[in-house]
Amino acid sequence: MKIYNTMSRQKEEFVPLQDGKVSMYVCGPTVYNLIHIGNARPMIVFDTFRRYLEYKGYDVNYVSNFTDVDDKIIQKANEEGVDASVISQRYIEECKKDMAAMNVMPATTHPLATQEIQGMIDMIQTLIDKGYAYPTADGTVYYRTRKFADYGKLSHKNLDDLEAGHRSDSHQLKVSGEDTKEDPLDFVLWKPKKEGEPYWESPWCDGRPGWHIECSVMSKKYLADEIDIHAGGEDLIFPHHENEIAQSEAANGVPFAKYWMHNGFLNINNQKMSKSLGNFFTVRDIAEKYDLQVLRFFMLSAHYRSPLNFSADLMEAAKNGLDRIVTAAGNLKHLEDASTVTAMTDEEKATFEASESYVKKFEAAMDDDANTADAVSAVFELVKFINTNATSENSKVYLDLLYDRLHTLCDVLGIILTQKEENLDADIEALIRERQDARKAKNFARADEIRDQLLQMGIVLEDTREGVKWKRA
Ligand code: AMP
Ligand code: ZN
């Protein structure tokens, strides 16, 4: 399998650090609002890549953070007159709902920046001890960018060009009080608290971490000093990922990530969709009109590195394409129910074998830098093949094998074929949560009522040490 590495600007053969295992870190959203569909793009494309790695048999440790301390969160908290944690908790919950509706698998770990402050203080101290960072009189700690010889290796930027850029901004720098730095290229690792802001104690001042140090620390703690894949949107290449590399490699003394993957922008009228430009749709906006499976399918219709222009026409095309696949799957199930033949014929065996070519096509596309656009084409070809090679005269076994083949490929794409059953599962889980809440509130009558309701639906509950499990009776 080949993946395009932003570092080398080439497609490279993927060889994980450890046989059979993949460690992957994807920069997550800053949680001060509902996520927009631009934020959804990395979630969907890297979730699909993860699913493919798992399909190939890798054991994937997938970490994606929530940035839950940030100027924008604090600003929103002040506007609402609540604690910053109220805002971040609210939007983490909302983000998780959107992810579930887009069938994005939960990460192995979703760390929160505010829960990892001690690790950040430790890494900053290591950087100071090694001469890569310095505190200034007001307790701000800066990274000494020029000390890191490889700075710019990911974004392919040259320090002198960067400095020239900074010089032309120098008026602005003075205004923002950043003139205590040794060098305009230095960036913040820790900054002093301001009135009304959340803060933590540190050896330098009461304050909070800079954004870049969060990911270096969470990646180290939940994965390792050296990881296989680090990913995010292409806007993160510079400065965020460049700074992460400078921090992690200086502190840990080993290369940070072997492969760097970046998704292209989701655009609207050929302009990047972003909160600051105000040209965005939230995932919730889209959910009013479409099942979010359609949004997922729309995202996968393009290669993840290409810019993708959002439009009503493309969403309609995605909806129609998805319908074609789901209908073919539904037909197979109907035919299977209607079929009275049990044993598979030799002819069926041969036809089924012929359908393997679409699986090979799918795999070849995904092996080529996760080319989901071509993988989706292979699925369409399989659907066409199924539509012409399945009737109620066929055996149940044959129809079931075809269904499984389609299901397996769609599962890699995160496309759900049996919508009804999935919705039912979500309903059941919602009832179980409601029952747990009722029990917590000592409303045992309601809790028993829900248990009975579930029993009537054929669902049996079992209270275990890891929580409530359920199964169909
Ligand atoms: P943010 O909350 O802005 O830090 O963004 C979270 C993730 O969404 C990052 O990986 C960004 O690169 C990505 N992202 C933000 N806007 C877009 C966009 N319009 N298209 C693609 N990815 C985006
Ligand atoms: Zn990050």
Cα–Cα distance, 115 to 218 (Å, whole number): 10
User: Do you find a cis peptide bond into 239, omega within 30 degrees of 0?
Assistant: yes
Average pLDDT over residues 417-444: 80
Cα–Cα distance, 133 to 189 (Å, whole number): 8
Model pLDDT for residues 335-374, shown as the tens digit of each residue = 999 999 989 999 999 999 999 999 999 999 999 999 999 9
Atom of ligand 1 nearest to the CA of 39: 8
DSSP 234: G
The contacts of residue 365 (CB under 8 Å, 6+ apart) are: 371, 372, 373, 374, 375, 377, 378
First to last CA, the chain: 42
Query: Which pair of structure tokens corresponds to residue 294?
Result: 């359609």
| Residue 202, CA distances (Å) to 141, 189, 218 in order | 11, 12, 18
pLDDT of residue 423: 59
Atom of ligand 1 nearest to the CA of 30: 2
**Poorest-confidence range of 135-139, 355-359, 411-415, 464-468?**
464-468
59 pairs with which residues across the strands? Answer: 21
Cα–Cα distance, 339 to 393 (Å, whole number): 6
Model pLDDT for residues 188-231, shown as the tens digit of each residue = 999 999 998 999 999 999 999 999 999 999 999 999 999 999 99
Q: How confident is the model at residue 178 (pLDDT cuts 50, 70, 90)?
A: low
Strands (E) in 27-177, as ranges, are: 59-64, 133-135, 141-143
Task: For 203, list phi and psi in degrees, rounded to 5.
Answer: -65, -15
Cα–Cα distance, 198 to 289 (Å, whole number): 38
Q: Is the pLDDT of residue 174 over 50?
A: no
Average pLDDT over residues 149-159: 95
pTM here is 0.88
pLDDT of residue 297: 98
Atom of ligand 1 nearest to the CA of 266: 20
pLDDT of residue 256: 98
Could you count the other beta carbons within 10 Å of the beta carbon of residue 428?
16
Q: Is the pLDDT of residue 176 over 60?
A: no
Could you count the other beta carbons within 10 Å of the beta carbon of residue 18?
11
pLDDT of residue 336: 95
Average pLDDT over residues 23-36: 97
Q: Are strands 459-464 and 467-472 parallel, antiparallel or unpaired?
A: antiparallel
**Poorest-confidence range of 87-96, 173-182, 337-346?**
173-182
Measured by CA distance, the residue closest to atom 21 of ligand 1 is 265
Place of tokens 């099942």: 291
Beta carbons of 385 and 368 less than 8 angstroms apart: no
pLDDT of residue 320: 98
Atom of ligand 1 nearest to the CA of 35: 2
Q: Is the pLDDT of residue 101 over 80?
A: yes
**Poorest-confidence range of 91-95, 164-168, 222-226, 231-235?**
164-168
Contacts by residues 429-435 (CB-CB < 8 Å, ≥ 24 positions apart): 432/461, 432/468, 432/470, 435/461, 435/468
Q: How confident is the model at residue 179 (pLDDT cuts 50, 70, 90)?
A: low
Task: Give 39 Cα–ligand 1 centroid separation in angstroms.
Answer: 4
Beta carbons of 372 and 306 less than 8 angstroms apart: no
Beta carbons of 264 and 232 less than 8 angstroms apart: no
Measured over the CA atoms of residue 108, residue 112, residue 113 and residue 116, the dihedral's sign is: negative
Cα–Cα distance, 340 to 99 (Å, whole number): 41
**Poorest-confidence range of 117-121, 161-165, 220-224, 333-337?**
161-165
Give the ligand whose atoms come closest to the C-alpha of residue 113.
Answer: 2
Measured over the CA atoms of residue 405, residue 406, residue 411 and residue 416, the dihedral's sign is: negative
- Which residues does a 6 A CB cutoff place in the pocket of ligand 1? 27, 29-30, 38-39, 41-42, 232-233, 235-236, 263, 265-266, 272-274
Query: Which pair of structure tokens corresponds to residue 389?
Result: 């090679």
Cα–Cα distance, 426 to 445 (Å, whole number): 23
Q: Is the pLDDT of residue 175 over 60?
A: no
Q: Is the pLDDT of residue 125 over 60?
A: yes
Task: Give 261 Cα–ligand 2 centroid separation in angstroms.
Answer: 12
Query: Which pair of structure tokens corresponds to residue 363?
Result: 């795999």
Beta carbons of 65 and 110 less than 8 angstroms apart: yes
Mutate to test the pocket of ligand 1, among 36, 39, 236, 242 (most ligand atoms within 8 A of CB): 39
Atom of ligand 1 nearest to the CA of 308: 20
Cα–Cα distance, 38 to 299 (Å, whole number): 10
Task: Give 46 Cα–ligand 1 centroid separation in angstroms.
Answer: 13
Cα–Cα distance, 115 to 138 (Å, whole number): 25
Measured by CA distance, the residue closest to atom 9 of ligand 1 is 233
The contacts of residue 233 (CB under 8 Å, 6+ apart) are: 27, 38, 41, 42, 262, 263, 265
Model pLDDT for residues 384-403, shown as the tens digit of each residue = 999 999 999 999 999 999 99
Task: For 62, list phi and psi in degrees, rounded to 5.
Answer: -115, 115
Cα–Cα distance, 165 to 152 (Å, whole number): 14
| Residue 288, CA distances (Å) to 86, 282, 292, 294 in order | 26, 10, 9, 12
DSSP 194: -
Query: Which pair of structure tokens corresponds to residue 217?
Result: 């620390």
Beta carbons of 227 and 258 less than 8 angstroms apart: yes
Model pLDDT for residues 228-241, shown as the tens digit of each residue = 999 999 999 999 99
Task: Give 268 Cα–ligand 1 centroid separation in angstroms.
Answer: 14
